[in-house]
Amino acid sequence: MKNDLNLNNKLNEPTIHKCVSHDEIKEYYNSFLKPLLIKYENKNENCKGPREKKMNNEGFYEETIRKTKKVYSTCEIKAERKCGLSQGAGYVYRACYGNINDKSTIEFWIIHKDYSMSK
């Protein structure tokens, strides 16, 4: 039974695509993810994809996860990688930092279902 649970968790593990800019995220979305969302999730062809994020007054990007708005580290986002996907969203788009005190460690992540299992 434990092996069945481990297999089920692996099958439900989302894909995390990491980029250093919003433009790279949009390119990934338009060229790779959007066609999959249309095919497997019946999303509309007119969907525009991730919106550009705005910085806070200190120049950091904040995220809201489970009603908590703050600057998130990459470790925290990885721990919360499934949050938002179970509510029916085709993907979640997050900004996070390798070091939450260093703006230069910014990473943009787009997290989505692993569609390689859907073939």
Query: pLDDT by residue (tens digit) across 48-61?
Result: 999 999 999 999 99
At residue 8, the pLDDT reads 46
At residue 118, the pLDDT reads 64
Distance CA 40, CA 78 (A): 24
Instruction: Give the global pTM.
Output: 0.87
Q: Does the pLDDT of residue 6 top 80, yes or no?
A: no
Share in percent of the chain as helix, strand, coil (round to 5): 35, 25, 40
At residue 87, the pLDDT reads 74
What is the token pair recorded at 118?
Answer: 């859907």
Domain definitions of the chain by residue range:
2-118
